[in-house]
Every structure is written in structure tokens, then in C-alpha cells.
Structure 1
Amino acid sequence: MKITGFTGWLVETEPGPKFIWRDGLPGSHGDIPRGTKPRKAVIRMETDSGLVGAIEMGRGDAVIDLVRRRYNWFIGENPLLTERIWNLMWEIDRIEEVHMRSLGMLDMLCWDVKSQQAKMPIYQLLGGHDRVVPAYASTVTWPTMDEYERYIKMSRDLGFTAFKLHAWGDVKRDIALSTNLRKWVGPDADLMFDGSAGWDYVQALEFGKAIQDLGFLWYEEPMREFYLGAYAKLCDKLDIPVLAAETSDGVHWNMASWIEGKALDMTRVSTFYKGGFTGAMKIAHMSESFGMRAQVHGMGLENAQLCAAISNNDYYEQLIMNEEQIKGLDKLGPLSIVGGNLTVTDEPGLGYHYDWDALDKAALTKIEVTERLA
């Protein structure tokens, strides 16, 4: 099988619900200029077998530009050789500095085709562990304690038994919130806290000591992920597992440095920050060899397959935003949460289906790449 070309469409999409993150971070609509809509890229990979891979990505303008300038290099390559394709893309990253969210896009297009060719779901091709994955309710940041209580209890009543806080970024208030969370959901629920890299070492240590006494499962990304020494000191001082290396570049090579430096207790994997399925699996297996869990970060069709593929991940992450969205979580098709669980689809492929003619009509930009350049 050979790759024969790529087609890309830049299209406008509807913005999702408005929400905020911790103090200091832009909210969910912070990158949408007034009077405009978000833009996404839809990318199709064509092969001489007639099978096509399809995916959609945010940062649409940049994604279209990357495909236009660099994906010609893969014309004629066999998409079933995913390890080869991944390493060729890693070589391009050396000169391109591909955005983390785009590095694994080609890999996932290839796994889409590979899955269709094998007539098997991606998670089974990756190894396969369990298609029924418990989900945790991952909050956005609400302005008041009352809102946290309302939406967390609403999620609890729908069957969630695990909850993660994105909070305000104020140590004292966040300790009070974490203490209340344990009261709201009881002693048996798994709890997590995501600091969204908002603190320095002193703040991170103070907060970590507080929540470890509440029996939290993990303490996630309390500081920016640059100086591993600070993370190593934090891990040494705390009993609660520190989950880190979420946004650091370099895939498994970078993760090896974190593990070697004893700067985390659990690793973060995702298809969008860690180089697609191939990169994420490299991290998951390396983590397992060190006796570490590799917790899957984020939602979506791709990460659902990853969750079902590996044994050392605990949960699928599901954001909860407002009442309407929470009450509609059981109506999300292949990503529906029912009774606190996600049942990953057994259908081959990634699961993106498009009306190509409609995309032609709606596109702000369309590109076609059909020839490999010297």
C-alpha cells in the first residue's frame, strides 16, 4: 500500500461552551477574535488501496500550512509501516519544530488506515486491554464554591465515582475546595487535583501536603515543566503521587529524563501531546517497565482508543462544564458516558466521517498535496 496524496480543508466551526481556567490563564474562548468563529483543519490521506484516513485538528491555519509544505515527503510511503512513518516525521520535526498537537497527526492518519485494512479497532491493534473504561469528571473552573458543589454532585448522581479539580490557583481557597470535594463525594471516590502549572515550589509543597491527607489519587502539574529539580524535590517531600510531564516536548526521550531524574510518580500520555498513537505507546510501555502508571490526558476519539489499549491507565478524562453539557454526556455517540463508564467503539478506524462535497463548499481554504518534492 502507498500514500498517494493529502487533502486539507480549513473550515469554521461553532465554539463550545464558555468556561474559565485558573487565574492567569485565558478562558476557553480566549483565542477567538471578536466577530469570528474557531477554525479547524480536516485532513484526508489518500492511498492506492482506496482506503483513506481522516482526522480533524484545531489550530487549523497552522495545520494546513504544515501539510502543504511538509507532507509531500510522505507520498509513496507505506502507511501500514507506522513505526517508519513516525520516525520520518520525527526527522522533519528537527527542522520544523512541529507544534506538539500536530506531531502525531500523520501517525494517527496511518493508524486509521491500518485499522480499516485489518478490519479491527485501533485499540486492539495497539495491544488491547479493556474497551470499558471508567471516566472521571474533570471540572472547569467555576467562580463559586456553590457551583462546584452543584455540578460535582450532579456528576456523582449520573454515576461518576472519580473527580478532578481545576481550581482557582489560590492555595488557601483550593485547599478548602479540595476538602469540600471529599465531603461531597465520600471516602471511596478517587480524587485528583490539576494545578495547571500555576505555582512555584513553595506553594506546590504547601498544597500537596494538604491534599495528600485527603487521600487524593494524584497531584497533577503543579509547576511549569522545565526545571526537573523542583519536581524531584517535590516528589521526595510528598507521599501523594505527582503526575507530570504533560506538556513537555520530546515524547519518550523527554519522559525518560523525567523518570531518570525521579521527578514524577506517574507519567502523562496523550495522542495530541505525545506524538499520536505510536509516541503515546512508547511512553506507556516505558512507564510500565518502571512500575509507573501512564495516565491518559484529555478527551476525544483518539484518546478513547488509547485508554482501551493500555493496562496502566486508570481513567478516561471527561470535562464537565455546565448543567446542559453534563446531562448530555450519555448522548455523545461513540464518546457517551453511561453510568460513569466509556465503552470504546469496536468499529475500525478513528471514527471521523465527512461529506467531502459539503467540505468543498464550506472551506475557507482547500489544499491538495499529490507530488513528492525533491
Structure 2
Amino acid sequence: MKITGYRTLTAQHHWRRAIGDVNGHIVEAVTEVPIVIVETDSGIEGVGIGSHADLDRLFPAIEGEDPRGVSALFDRMLAQVFKSGHAGATYGGVASLDAALWDLKAKAADEPLWRLLGGRDRFVPAYASGLDIALDDEELATLYAEFAERGFVAGKLKGGLDFDADVRRLGILADALAANTARPGLMLDANESWQVKQAVRYVSALEEHVDLIWVEEPLRRWDAVGHARLSTAIRAAVATGENLTGVDQFRSLFEAGAPDVVQAGAVWGVSHMQRLALASAARDLPISPVGYNANPAVAHVMTAVPNHLTTELQAFDFADGVLVDHEFVDGGIVLGDEPGSGISIDEVVIEGARRGDGWANPAGPHMRPVRAGLRVVLDGVER
């Protein structure tokens, strides 16, 4: 089997609600979902989701190769962009091709990816995460009640700007998830919006009201020393890493003794998730994938590593034309038996369902506000 080419598609995920975080939000959100399909001379095709960045530069590293050598091909792609570097957006292109190759390898073996990777149990524990900062209290309660109906016992709130609102809204999450447990698991995601002492003061005050499992991305992603300082000052675990592009970028965090929970963005693909999980396991640290809906293939990896804690689930559906072989029950993800990563693409539906330009709001959460980390009073009012 040889790799002969690739093609790209862009689907749209219609969230049917506002989504965002402390940095911004979009109303009636629609997000673009880049898809890469890798073609082979055998007729089998592999599907990868994540990014279209630098595909033309990366593809020569795998063209004509046997896709079943996917781990070596991952390294060939990194070597292909050695001088300019693989960090940032380029890593997204690597990850999408990588996910497609793993899909091909499992399809060629006629096995689901979780089985090919060595998984024993198809169940992947998960937590609810509504990207919910723009929802009012009633909408918030309704959303997490829907997660509770499927057995979820833990949830993550987007916050970090308005202390009183965060206390109240974490209570709403707890009430909704209490349908399944007397002690719901609660997390707060601040999306890199604080300085170290801001984080210490804010989380310490929250902990007088709420028992937090973790605080996520409290500081800038590269602040290894700051994350370590914060971890020693609060009870909650410190979780970060989703925006680091490459296992090499975790080196300074590991050396500094941070984070407590290692996170990896689903958009960075299967090999990244696998390698980071094992690097974390060597340090007795748990791993938690972020953004399952952005690339469902990563859940397969979690069945085959020793340190998976829980996976972020943001919605019960996917982009139009993207079908995934799984179920959401018992507070987690139950992977199916379809060969490959379980992702199938309906190209006709994708083209027919496109409406508008997707993620077009310049004030959305993908842009960092000018005053982020420089507010004197974190009450949602200061200008």
C-alpha cells in the first residue's frame, strides 16, 4: 500500500448556542472543521480532522510511503520542516495527516483504532465542557442537565473574570451534575487570562466556596515556573498544555514540576497524544485530552495508555457530514467497532450544509484581549 495523494474539505459545526471563554465569544456559533483525506493506491482512504496548515510542504515527506509506518512518517514530517520548525500552525497540519495515517493503518488491519493501539476497554471516561461563558444561568443549567442525563458527573466552567458569577455558576453545574453523584467534579478554565498572583488570589478565594478538581490554563502556556508556583499555593490541581505544539514544548514544564494534569489538544493528533501520554506517565502525571469534538480519533489513544484521567466533551454532535462511530453514555464515550478511527465523511452533506463563513467574529475567543492579565480588579466590570 502506497500513499498517492490527499484532498481537503471544510465542514461546519453549527453549535446552536453561543460558545466562548474569558477572551471572547461568538453568538449562534458556527466553527470551521478542516478535514484531510489521504488517498492510497489500494483504494483505502484515511480521514484526519484538525487543520489544513502547511499540507503542501508536509505531504512530500509521506508521498509514496506505506501509511502503516505511521510513527516513522510522523517523524519524517517533523524533519521535513526542520529549518522553519514544526511549532504552531504547522503542527496542526502534521497532526491532521498523522490522524489520517492512523485511520488508514487501522482500516488496513480491519480493526478499530482503539484495538489496534492495544486498548482493552472501549469506554473512555469524560467530563462535560460547554464553552459556556456566554450562556445565561438558565441556559447553563439546561445544558449541564443534558450532560447529567447521559451520566456525566464532572463539568468545567469557562470563567476567570467575574468572581461572584463564577461562584454562582459553579453552583449551577454542581446542582445539575448532582443527579448522578453527591460530590460532582468541578473545574474552572481561565484560558491564560491571569498573572501568577492574580491566580493565587482568585483560586484561593474560590476554594472557600468550591472544591475544585483543577484550574485550567491559569497562566500563559509557556510559564513553567509560574504554574509550579501556583500549584504549591492552592489545593486544586493545575492543568495546562493544550496549546503546546509538540512534546518538546513540555520539557520546561516537566522540569519545573508543572503541570499537575497534562493536557493535550485533540487537534494535535494521535501520535502527539500517544507520545505525550507516555512522557507524562514516566513522571506519574495523568493526561487529559481537550476538545474531543475537534478530533474524535484521540479517544482511541486513551484506551491504550496507563494514565488517562478524563477527556473533555463539548457537545453530543459534530460538524454536518461528519459521522462518528461512538455513543455518549454512563458519563463517557463508548467507542465502536468500525475499522479505523470510526470517522466517516459525507462530502455531499458537507457541501450542502455550508451556511456563512463560520468562525468569522474578530472578537471571538481565538483572539487575546489587549488587557488580559493586566486588570486590577477581576469583577467583570473594569475597563
Alpha-carbon contact 2:50-2:267 (below 8 Å) kept: no
- Measure how far apart 1:145 and its partner are: 3.1
SS in structure 1 opposite 2:111? coil
Q: Give the equivalent residue in structure 2 for 1:366.
A: none
TM-score (norm 2): 0.78
Matched, 1:245 2:241: yes
> CA 1:68–1:189 in 2, change beyond 3 Å: closer, same or farther?
same
Residue 233 (structure 1) aligned to one of 215, 229, 233: 229
Decide whether aligned partners of structure 1 residues 103 and 171 sit closer, same or farther in structure 2, where only a CA change above 3 A counts.
Answer: farther
Secondary structure at the aligned position of 2:37 is classed as: strand
Q: Which amino acid aligns with 1:17?
A: R
Q: Deviations over 1:224-279 (max 9, x none)?
A: 21222211210121221111122123x22122321111121110124413xx2111
Report whether the alignment pairs 1:334 with 2:330. Answer: no
> CA contact under 8 A between 2:325 and 2:338: conserved in structure 1?
no
Of residues 82, 85, 108, the one that matches 2:70 is 82
Moved more, 350-359 or 96-105: 350-359
Check the 8 A contact 2:18/2:135 in 1, yes or no: no
Task: Show structure 1 runs of 4+ deviating over 6 A.
Answer: 356-363
Structure 1 residues 282-361: aligned runs within 5 Å: 282-300=275-293, 301-319=296-314, 334-354=325-345
Amino acid at match of 1:203: Q
For residue 118 of structure 1, what is the aligned residue in structure 2? 109
Q: Report the Cα offset of residue 299 of structure 1.
A: 1.5
Q: Please point out which of 140, 155, 175 is paired with 1:148.
A: 140
Identity, in percent, stands at 25
1:199 shift after superposition: 1.7
Amino acid at match of 1:51: I
The one of 94, 104, 114 equivalent to 2:95 is 104
Q: Which residue matches 2:60? A: 72
Rounded to whole Å, the distance in 2 between the matches of 1:361 and 1:133 is: 33
Q: CA deviation at 1:310?
A: 2.5
- Separation in 2 of the partners of 1:162 and 1:353? 29
2:273 maps to amino acid: A
Deviations 1:207-234 (A, max 9, x none): 2224445332221111221222211210
Measure the CA separation in 1 of the matches of 2:35 and 2:47.
Answer: 7
Q: Structure 1 residues 297-306 or 145-154, which shifts more?
A: 145-154
Query: Which whole-Å CA distance do the structure 2 matches of 1:80 and 1:315 have between them?
Result: 29
Q: Which residue of 1 aligns with 2:21?
A: 22
2:170: which partner in 1? 178
1:260 aligns with 2:255: yes
Q: Cα offset for 1:287?
A: 0.9
Q: Offset at 1:344? A: 0.7
Query: Greater CA deviation, 49-58 or 226-235?
Result: 49-58
Offset of residue 284 of structure 1: 0.4
**Secondary structure of the structure 2 residue equivalent to 1:309:** coil
Greater CA drift, 20-29 or 165-174: 20-29
CA contact under 8 A between 1:171 and 1:207: conserved in structure 2?
Answer: yes
Change (3 A) 1:138 1:4: same
Q: 1:294 to 1:128 in 2, by over 3 A?
A: same
Q: Distance in 2 between matches of 1:202 and 1:42?
A: 41
Is there any run of 5+ residues in structure 2 with no aligned partner, and where? 318-322, 355-383
Say whether the 8 Å CA contact 2:9–2:34 is kept in structure 1: yes
Question: Among residues 153, 157, 161, which one is paired with 1:165 in the alignment?
Answer: 157
- Give 1:359 shift: 7.9
Higher helix share: 1
Deviation at 1:87, TM superposition (A): 0.7
SS in 2 for 1:135: strand
Q: C-alpha separation between the residues in 2 aligned to 1:178 and 1:12?
A: 33
Alpha-carbon distance change, 17 to 309 in structure 1, aligned in 2, over 3 angstroms:
farther
Residues 158 and 190 of structure 2 are in contact (CA less than 8 Å); yes or no, is this contact kept in structure 1?
A: yes
Contact 1:54 / 1:109 at 8 angstroms: preserved in 2? yes
| Distance 1:193-1:93 versus aligned 2 partners, 3 A rule | farther
Cα distance in 2, alignment partners of residues 93 and 28 from structure 1: 37
User: Does residue 166 of structure 2 align to residue 193 of structure 1?
Assistant: no
Shift in alpha-carbon separation, 1:356–1:191, aligned structure 2, 3 A: closer
* Deviation (angstroms), 1:23: 3.8
Go from structure 1 to structure 2 and tell me whether the alpha carbon gap of 1:181 and 1:118 turns closer, same or farther (over 3 Å shift).
same
Is 1:204 aligned to residue 196 of structure 2?
no
Q: Number of residues paired by the alignment?
A: 339
How far is 1:174 from its partner?
1.5
1:157-177: per-residue Cα shift (whole Å, max 9, x none)? 442211111136223422343
From the superposition, tell whether residues 355 and 24 of structure 1 become closer, same or farther in structure 2 (CA, over 3 Å).
closer
TM-score in terms of structure 1 length: 0.79
Corresponding position of 2:378: none
Amino acid across the alignment from 2:188: F
Deviation at 1:361, TM superposition (A): 10
